[in-house]
Amino acid sequence: MRRESLKTKAEQLARMVVEMIQVGEWSERLPGMDVLAKKYSVNPKTVQRALELVEQDGWLLPAERRKARKINPARRQAKSQEHKSLLVLYSGIDAKDMVVGKVLQQMSDRWMRHGTAVNMEQVDFAYHKEPASYLRRLVERHSADAILFYNASRRWIEVGMNMLPVFCCGGGITDSMKITSMGFRFSSQIAWLIQKLNSMGHERIMFSYTDPDRGIREEVLSVDAFPGKQENLRGRRADYCVRVAEDLPDVWSGMWEREFTRLQPTAVIVMEGHHLLSLYAFCAKRGIRIPQDLSVVSLVEFEGGNWLEPAITYAQFPYAKMLNYFEKWIRSGLKPLGYREVSMKWMETGSLGAAPRQRS
């Protein structure tokens, strides 16, 4: 289409008609002029002028008497190689994260500059342990040409990479996967954080999470310093790594009540923003002061974290680097560019303090 700004209704309609052809809404012929006029709330003369513009750009064959306009198959085939459809898959937990939502929207915008369509699907990566047939149906439903996985399990990524080009943000990535991916090593980040808490006197550190399918528990327990010195624990070492099976408010409230009574943690690490809200509400109800009685750290950036009192200490992912790498992948023609590891930036605020026993 023309590069100058669209000024008239005919030019705007021409742009929309081309976009519909590109995404495959019309494959052989356009609807009749009256149908188009009604669909786009314009008069038939505007439709006629718009179709003339579309024909000038090579998308339509010459008009035939009393027949709907026929799409130029050569132009449609050539453009279909340039304009591709992206399927974005993310979990229900990430769907609740406003920061993740903004990032996925930015990635969609980047894709739309080069492709045609972005289709987003919320899936349960843990439930579908053998996802081949389910993923194939999603790909076919959306006529996807590429897949963006956000925090997907390793099995989903392995299946997806055998179907289409894949860009992966976190999750079960391995260095050997022939895809384009970016993430951080959870084990090194959690080890640094636990050592930081140990240095502040915390020897009963509690780690809470929901997702059962990313090997999180094993990585946390692989850190020798977690959760602190054995003689200071109120239970077994593994008890301080608490998985909550259901991601529901009442379930998490009950968990805090039960585990705080049993384990008496001096620091808690959470992985999701809504779990953080649940913990702050529990502490307010029980009169537990942050950070005087309890230090709290989030492994993810939480949109409302600065509104909490005190503001939450959290790990900030370098999303700008990920967006740039995603753009590079698109410009490469969706070639596998490999794994790029990044480091988290720790944003320390008022929720982190020395363990209570060290205070005078």
Structural domains counted in the chain? 3
Write the pLDDT tens digit of every residue in 318-332. 999 999 999 999 989
The H or E element containing residue 85 is: strand 85-90
CATH classification of the domain holding 176: 3.40.50.2300
Same domain, 226 and 351: yes
Instruction: Of 198, 278, 204, give the one whose Cα is nearest residue 235.
Output: 204
Give residue for tokens 């309609």.
13
Same domain, 322 and 292: no
Same domain, 309 and 222: yes
13, 154, 200 from 358: Cα distances, Å:
70, 42, 8
Write the pLDDT tens digit of every residue in 149-180. 999 989 999 999 999 999 999 888 888 899 99
Answer yes or no: are the C-beta atoms of 313 and 352 closer than 8 Å. yes
Same domain, 143 and 275: no
DSSP state of 57: T
Same domain, 76 and 99: no
Distance CA 165, CA 203 (A): 45
Instruction: Of 90, 97, 80, 105, give the one whose Cα is nearest residue 147.
Output: 90
Distance CA 265, CA 293 (A): 9
What's the confidence (pLDDT) of residue 72? 87
Same domain, 201 and 129: no
Which residues on adjacent β-strands are paired with residue 206? 268
**Number of Cβ within a 10 Å radius of residue 323:** 16
Last residue of a domain, one of 20, 45, 80: 80
Write the pLDDT tens digit of every residue in 19-56. 777 766 787 899 999 999 998 889 999 999 999 999 98
Q: Is the pLDDT of residue 304 over 60?
A: yes
Instruction: Of 314, 360, 352, 313, give the one whose Cα is nearest residue 200.
Output: 352
Q: Is the pLDDT of residue 94 over 80?
A: no
Residue 212 — very low, low, confident or very high, per pLDDT cuts 50/70/90? low
The pLDDT of 233-238, averaged and rounded, is: 84
Answer yes or no: are the C-beta atoms of 318 and 342 closer than 8 Å. yes
The pLDDT of 204-219, averaged and rounded, is: 81
Same domain, 205 and 110: no
The H or E element containing residue 53 is: helix 44-56
- The mean of the pLDDT values for the chain is 87
In a domain, 4, yes or no: no
What's the confidence (pLDDT) of residue 116? 75
Instruction: Of 341, 337, 342, 327, give the one whose Cα is nearest residue 177.
Output: 337
- Does a cis peptide bond (omega within 30 degrees of 0) precede residue 291? yes
Last residue of a domain, one of 80, 105, 127: 80
What's the confidence (pLDDT) of residue 179? 94
What's the token pair of residue 108? 């969609």
More confident residue, 79 or 137: 137
Same domain, 250 and 109: no
What's the token pair of residue 308? 């909490």
Alpha helices in 206-265 (DSSP H): 216-221, 249-263
Same domain, 222 and 353: yes
* Domain containing residue 273: 186-315+346-358
Same domain, 108 and 45: no
Same domain, 352 and 205: yes
What's the token pair of residue 212? 């059962």
